[in-house]
Homo-oligomer: A and B are copies of this chain.
Amino acid sequence: MPHHLIRKLDRYAGLSADDKEMLQRLVCDVAWVASDHDLIDEGAALRQVGVILDGWACCYKQIEDGRRQIVAYLIPGDLCGTPPVFPSIVNYSVATLTPVRVAQIPAHALLSAMDKSPRITRAFWLDLLASFAIQREWTANVGLRTARERIAHLFCEIVTRLRAVGLTTADGCNLPLTQEDIGETVGLSTVHVNRTLQELRAAGLISLKRQQLVIPDFAALRAVAHFDSTYLCRSRLEADADPPPAAMAGSAVPA
């Protein structure tokens, strides 16, 4: 069932047919969760990993006075929780942004699959490292960019990630975020997000209405954002980096 996840892990580490079969059988407890519900509460001790099958969720942190920071978005194919060490206490919460279909992988099942296949182990490592790389990029994003750059960067990242799982249209994507969500993501007030979006629209860099984000000229937006996508797609590079540099066919990698 978790097509996106398996495809992603395959891209990371080149799974065998057996590996994929095994992963298929890991999941259980597939369920729909309504929008705006918590999947994980801060401080919980997890004994399983969630897999997002459909919909969007976000990881966030809150401080006493109510201020909230979104620290990650989860889209189909993403893990929800902290594989694969159990029990593991999380220090953030996860909330759905849309209705979400989510599956669970029990601790023991995941660990035994990793025991049996080094490729699966490697794939989960790479997935974690990829999330880490995104987190680093987010720290840099809020730390050193201007409002306009931050939002542009966020949009570049989202579209690139959605494209990797086939959830984009030709030149955009569905974006189930309110301006408040965006503000809590990039560290700006809602009002200023609104004004900055208008700037981006006025500059012809994006159009955004009714949750439809359109980026007519991705290269232009990427330039504004100083967006460098390598942090998102290292998976493949690493596989290819194994042999010494040589001329190689450009596109398809055999499964």
Interface residues of A (CB under 8 A from B): 43, 45, 59, 61, 63-65, 67-69, 71-72, 82, 84-85, 87-89, 91-92, 122, 125-126, 128-129, 131-133, 135-140, 142-144, 184-187, 226, 230-231, 234, 237-238, 241-242
Contact of A230 among B91, B142, B187 (CB under 8 A): B91
A-B contact list, 18 entries, CB within 8 Å: A45-B241, A61-B140, A63-B226, A69-B139, A84-B125, A85-B238, A87-B237, A87-B241, A89-B230, A89-B234, A89-B238, A89-B241, A91-B231, A128-B129, A128-B132, A138-B139, A142-B143, A144-B184
Separation of A242 and B142 alpha carbons in the complex (Å): 32
Separation of A131 and B129 alpha carbons in the complex (Å): 11
Q: In the complex the two chains form, is B241's CB within 8 Å of A133's CB?
A: no
Contact of A71 among B82, B139, B234 (CB under 8 A): B139
6 smallest beta-carbon distances between A and B, as pairs: A143-B187, A69-B140, A91-B231, A135-B135, A69-B144, A69-B143
Contact of A125 among B64, B85, B126 (CB under 8 A): B85
Q: How many copies of the chain does the oligomer comprise?
A: 2
Known: A45-B241, A64-B226, A87-B242. A92 touches B136 (CB 8 A): yes
Known: A45-B241, A131-B132, A132-B132. A187 touches B61 (CB 8 A): no
Q: In the complex the two chains form, is A142's CB within 8 Å of B187's CB?
A: yes
Known: A87-B238, A92-B136. A186 touches B125 (CB 8 A): no
Q: Which of A67, A85, A142, A143 has the most CB of B within 10 A?
A: A143
Closest chain-B Cβ to A211's Cβ sits at a distance in Å of 23
A184 neighbours in B (Cβ, 8 Å): 143-144
Q: In the complex the two chains form, is A135's CB within 8 Å of B139's CB?
A: yes
Separation of A187 and B91 alpha carbons in the complex (Å): 23
